[in-house]
Amino acid sequence: QGRFSHENSVVMPDQKTVFLSDDGTGVVFFKFVADAAGDMSSGTLYAAKVTQTNGVSDPSEAAFAIEWIELAHGAEADIEAAIAEYDVGTLASPSYITDQQINDWAEAKLSQDLDGSGSVAADPFTDDRPAFLESRKAAVALGATGEFRKMEGVVINYGLADNWWNAGAADGDQAYMYMAMSSFDKTMADDEGDIQLDGTHGPCGVVYRMTLKENAGNVDVDTMVPAIVGGPYYSDRDVNECSVNNISNPDNLAVMDDGRLLIGEDTGNHENNVIWVYEDPAL
């Protein structure tokens, strides 16, 4: 399902769709849709292209519309065969996919000149291996957003989501998916690209809510809305740089059966790490 810093992934009740988070700085939000329910051996990998609320930089108000960019379809056997081709490399003479090859692969897929060379490159591969072996770079080359910061995992309550999916949104309670960003500074607050938040309190983190939807028979999401933002952040303090009355560096999340959200911290900005229970006003 792609090569990146997998933090936590979650399989949806359609047994086909998997949302995957990527832990790091300048990273990508991925989605995998299997060809067949209950069988993850082949399917299509997507990456999120987000559009921030126009003119809004306040992290407590700035939402993101999500467009899913298709990277490629792949099967385990084919991906394993592609990986094996690079086993010939050594530390002294490594064998790998180069940035130029990724650019050329993307140009061929998009039929666009991406590097300003004046022409569209020929595809250097007979398959879509960059999508699975260099997923971040491939996603960004195709136009996805590679600016997320410290993406710590994505979660649902499976029982609530399954009830919503099988009973129908009109009958079952709406289920939500949540994602923690331990921080939203640096690449999410650098005034460049798709994400341009006010990073004043960025070191304290944010938790986003995503409404589950049905799309062509699969579970999907098309928006990320801030559920709770950490802070304020006090840079002049020696301890408790993030307010002790709010979350700091949210990490592990769990949705309880009543929909409330457990938020576990992994922080150096609180003297003591805390587990919070969040009653989301959206419930």
Instruction: Identify the pLDDT of residue 90.
Output: 85
Residue 31 inside a domain? The answer is yes
Report the b/e string of 75-104 with b at 16+ CB within 10 A: eeeebeebeeeeeeeeeeeeeebeeebbbb
Is 201 within the bounds of a domain?
A: yes
Q: Please indicate, yes or no, if residue 58 is contained in any of the structural domains.
A: yes
> Coil, strand or helix: which one is 28?
coil
Whether 283 is in a domain gets the answer no
Q: Is residue 16 part of a domain?
A: yes
Asked whether residue 1 is assigned to any structural domain, the reply reads no
Q: At 110, is the secondary structure helix, strand, or coil? A: helix
pTM of the model: 0.95
Rounded Cα distance, 30 and 5, in Å: 11
> What is the number of residues in the chain?
283
Domain that holds residue 73: 6-278
Q: pLDDT below 70 — which residues of the chain?
A: 168-173
Structural domain includes residue 98:
yes
The residue written with tokens 């938040």 in the block is 197
Number of DSSP helices (H) and strands (E) in the chain, helices first: 5, 16
pLDDT, residue 170, reads: 47
Determine the Cα–Cα distance for residues 200 and 185; give it in Å rounded to an integer.
8
172 belongs to a structural domain: yes
How far is it, in rounded angstroms, from Cα 255 to Cα 236? 34
Phi, psi (deg, nearest 5) at residue 233: -105, 130
pLDDT of 6 = 83
Q: How many domains does the chain have?
A: 1
Contacts of 77 (CB under 8 A, 6+ apart): none
